[in-house]
Amino acid sequence: MNIFVDAMGGDNAPREIVKGAVDAVLEYNIALTLVGQEEVVRKELSQYTYPTESIRVLNADEVIGFDEEPVRAIRRKENSSLVVALDAMKGSPDSVLISAGSTGALLAGGLLKLGRIKGIKRPALASAIPKENGVTLLIDMGANADCKADYLEQFALLGHVYYQSVLGKENPKIGLINIGAEEEKGSMMVKEAYQLLKHSGLNFIGNVEPRDIPTTEADILVCDGFTGNVVLKLLEGLSSYLMSGIKTAIMGSVKGKLGGALIKDDLRSFKKQFDADEQGGAPFLGVKGGIIKAHGSSNAYAIKNAIRQSIKYIENGVLEKTTAAIKEHAERGE
């Protein structure tokens, strides 16, 4: 099992990334590799007590910033933490790289350095949206702004394998995000995707309207990457807007302040359900290797959870299962 953690990526790098890695080796009793400027990483590590053989440091002098053009950055910065890690992973099916750095660079790096699984048209980014009793996996949440219907069918298959393997539910229910419940609703692309999904052999439950996303019974929601990104970011933005709006409204009156103090605990446990840090990161599915995009603002806890997710990813053989499923699906279609 080879878990690589990009020590230099993210708003809280390297401090929180390194701390998350230490917490993970202690809690899960595993070994992993931190990739980044060795001196900086070792200095962070020196603060903690842990079995030293369980954390290896792979030196990478360069860092890719959030504002760099992804493909150019991957090509030019051969000594960046991202490129060094991807080169080390190559050809090893039991590897995962976790990074909280630039999404664009991570996706471009995965595609250029690891390549696509045979038969995959477009790899996709999947994000687990927390809901009352579990999570909904949203795929694609932003890797492909322009999509064709057959990409969406593959996203469903990628999500199916991942959900079964990592989230542990047999035959997960698949919904298609659409602006109407009926089969004939939506854009031309989505209508075509509906027909493909209907005959895909997957557990397709039909269209899911946006208003029902927070409560849907679907385990997996399929859409193009533009729509997926709109959904995910709007969920984040509106939740935080409403929560802070409610707080401000309450704090404006004495009665409200008193009430606010009384409901604080209940509200906190309600909010905890939707804590993105609990979910680990967003897997980039369809490339020849495990890639997990952690949120840019990840703290040590989020990184530790992304490492737990990586362990499941490797132990359950997501890569091999995906390769087999794509092959089988292609043969069935012939």
Binding stretches for a second copy (CB under 8 A): 142, 145-146, 177, 179, 185-188, 190, 209-215, 225-227, 229-239, 241-243, 245-246, 249-250, 252-253, 255-256, 258-263, 265-267, 269-270
Q: Please, what is the minimum distance in Å from the beta carbon of residue 245 to a second copy? A: 6
DSSP string, 183-230: TT-S-HHHHHHHHHHHTSSS-EEEEE-GGGGGG-S-SEEE--HHHHHH
**In this complex, which beta carbon is closest to a second copy, that of residue 56 or of residue 233?**
233
Q: Which of 83, 127, 132 is nearest to 106 (CA)?
A: 83
Q: Please, what is the minimum distance in Å from the beta carbon of residue 215 to a second copy? A: 6
Q: Which two tokens stand for residue 16?
A: 């929180």
**In this complex, which beta carbon is closest to a second copy, that of residue 73 or of residue 117?**
73
Number of CB atoms found within 10 A of residue 27's CB: 11
Number of CB atoms found within 10 A of residue 133's CB: 6
Q: Is 176 helix (H, G, I), strand (E, B) or coil?
A: strand
Q: Please, what is the minimum distance in Å from the beta carbon of residue 149 to a second copy? A: 13
**In this complex, which beta carbon is closest to a second copy, that of residue 31 or of residue 230?**
230
**In this complex, which beta carbon is closest to a second copy, that of residue 88 or of residue 243?**
243
Q: Please, what is the minimum distance in Å from the beta carbon of residue 173 to a second copy? A: 18
Under a CB-based contact definition with an 8 Å cutoff, are residues 320 and 93 in contact?
yes
Q: Please, what is the minimum distance in Å from the beta carbon of residue 138 to a second copy? A: 12
**In this complex, which beta carbon is closest to a second copy, that of residue 87 or of residue 212?**
212
Q: Please, what is the minimum distance in Å from the beta carbon of residue 211 to a second copy? A: 3
**In this complex, which beta carbon is closest to a second copy, that of residue 4 or of residue 155?**
155
